[in-house]
Structure 1
Amino acid sequence: MDFAAPPENVTFRGLLFDMDGTIIDSTAAVEKHWHSIGKEIGVDPEVILQTSHGRRSIDMLKVLAPDKANWEYVRHMEGLLPKLHGDDAVEIPGARALLDSLIAAHAPWAIVTSGTVPLVSGWLDVLKLPHPDHLVTAESVANGKPDPSCYELGLSKLGLDAKAEVLVFEDSPAGIRAGKAAGCKVLGLVTSHTVEQVMAAEPDWVVRDLISVKMVEYNPGDGRVTLQISDALVTSSA
């Protein structure tokens, strides 16, 4: 396996981005955060961290600490994360340039995340990244990833129903499966999981990070955005 596929131009009607591991990397902050929360709720933080990435905090708490599984607690808890650990997050390489180009062209995009509104807005403010016009958060749906509800709602917010013409950007297996279950094409990033874990979720492309993705053009007439994907993963079976 090698990240050496030649550049490929692909066209979509809309783009849906996961947040953590796709636009930002807050792994170090999340680890500190869950260690604090683990002590507070009496659960081994390592147990939480083994399965937390890409999943909503409220879904984790329903299993580990049901008495804390309410939106008031989760929003308060997550809202503190960027404030307490703001220096421990960085943007995913290529994310800012890609989002800036989409915004400049007025191309349709949204963030679809397992985080709450206080968490998402907090991180975007700390890292001075652009806020999307359309946002789907943990509070938006009854079931979190890998359930496709979040990406189906993202499609609705963009006013799109041609699912195969929408690209999802994801790093976690749960998120990749959610995007695929929603009928979208999915680009998997190897930023938080191994190549093998990402591939097992069966995304359509696998790249290291968003440096491999550039906007080529946006045609407002037909609402289509063309991206160039370079240095995608090539497998022996390809």
Structure 2
Amino acid sequence: MPTATVTARALLLDMDGTLVDSDAVVERCWRRWAARHGLDGDHVMHVVHGRQGHLSMALLLPDRPMEVNLQENRAMLADETADTLGIVPVPGAPAFLAALSGQPHALVTSADEALARVRMGAAGLPLPETLVTAESVGASKPDPEGFLKGAAELGFLPADCLAFEDSGAGISAALAAGMRVIGVGPRALAHPATHHVDSLEQVRVEAQPDGGLRLTLG
């Protein structure tokens, strides 16, 4: 990819697929769920990335009462939290987060806080001080609420923030919030992020004298 340079005042980071490679766990849990409901596993996996579980269930089983989805999602979260086999950092994530130490950044994830803490810990990654998790919002990605809340908690306007995402739902949410978006990894390529990188190994972060951040991509 050609080199690009972008600036921002703060970064808002998705977790699964962006910082943490949890695909093995997600595949195991959601394919079991798909089999129980007689659904095609490949189709289910196409839907679930980036969204809260109960919203994915609502899209996949649209005639089912939401209270059933919420109940099953609680069980799904318990299964996912208990399963850390195969969780690793996305390439470049440790150095990327180390470069952000002391700089304004937040985690904006569709996981609940317990799952976020388990997965970041299993990947050996530091948890940002500012967390926007499933409990923090009333609407899941692709709704922009989580990114808007993350910007507000850090004290910056959405236009001053740069989001990092891997999923279509997450990229749509960040764009709807009025932010530029760096799409990370192959899953992001199908969606209209502002820039794409193959991995976080292609991102270099430099703090600027004015307090902003300069990022070199590529």
Q: TM-score, normalised by structure 2?
A: 0.88
Deviation at 1:51, TM superposition (A): 0.8
Corresponding residue number in structure 1 for 2:152: 156
The answer to whether the aligner puts 1:223 opposite 2:211 as a matched pair is yes
2:95 is the counterpart of 1:97: yes
Q: Report whether the alignment pairs 1:36 with 2:32.
A: yes
1:135 aligns with 2:134: no
Give the fraction of aligned pairs with identical amino acids, expressed as a percent: 34
Instruction: Assess, with a 3 A threshold, how the Cα gap between structure 1 residues 114 and 16 changes in structure 2: closer, same or farther.
Output: same
Structure 2 distance, partners of 1:27, 1:21, is: 7
Contact 1:58-1:74 within 8 A present in 2 as well: yes
2:169 to 174, 178, 182: 174
Q: What SS class does the counterpart of residue 110 from structure 2 fall into?
A: coil
Equivalents in 1 of 2:122, 2:148: separation in Å? Answer: 29
**Given that residues 79 and 122 in structure 1 are in contact (C-alpha distance below 8 angstroms), is that contact kept between their aligned partners in structure 2?**
no
Instruction: Report the secondary structure of 1:135's partner residue.
Output: strand
Residue-by-residue CA offset, 1:203-223 (whole Å, 9 max, x unaligned): 21111111111112244xx43
Matches of 2:151 and 2:78, distance apart in 1: 26
Distance in 1 separating the partners of 2:129 and 2:150: 11
SS of match in other structure, 2:207: strand
Return the alpha-carbon distance in structure 1 between the equivalents of residues 118 and 55 of structure 2. 21
Is the 8 Å Cα contact of residues 139 and 145 (structure 2) preserved in structure 1? Answer: yes
Give ranges in structure 2 of 5+ residues lacking alignment. none
> Structure 1 158/43 Cα, relative in aligned 2: closer, same or farther at 3 Å?
farther
Equivalent pairs, count: 213
Q: 1:185 to 1:53 in 2, by over 3 A?
A: same
CA positional deviation for 1:92: 0.9
Cα distance, 1:178–1:33 mapped onto 2, change above 3 Å? same
Structure 2 counterpart of 1:26 = 22
8 Å CA contact 1:34, 1:45 repeated in 2: no
Q: CA–CA distance in 1 between the matches of 2:162 and 2:172?
A: 13
For 2:39 and 2:67, locate their aligned partners in 1 and report how far apart those are by CA, in whole Å: 17
Which amino acid in 2 is paired with 1:101? A
Structure-2 change in CA distance of 1:127 and 1:167 (3 Å): same
Give CA-to-partner distance per residue, 1:141-188, whole Å, 9 cap, x none: 222111111110111111112x22210001112211111111111111
CA RMSD between the two structures: 2.0
After the TM superposition, which segments of 4 or more aligned residues of structure 1 sit over 4 Å from their partners? none
Residue equivalent to 1:233: none
Which residues of structure 1 form unaligned runs of 5+?
A: 231-238
Asked whether 1:49 is paired with 2:48, we answer no
Equivalent position amino acid for 1:213 in 2: V
Matched residues in 2 for 1:20 and 1:94: separation? Answer: 14
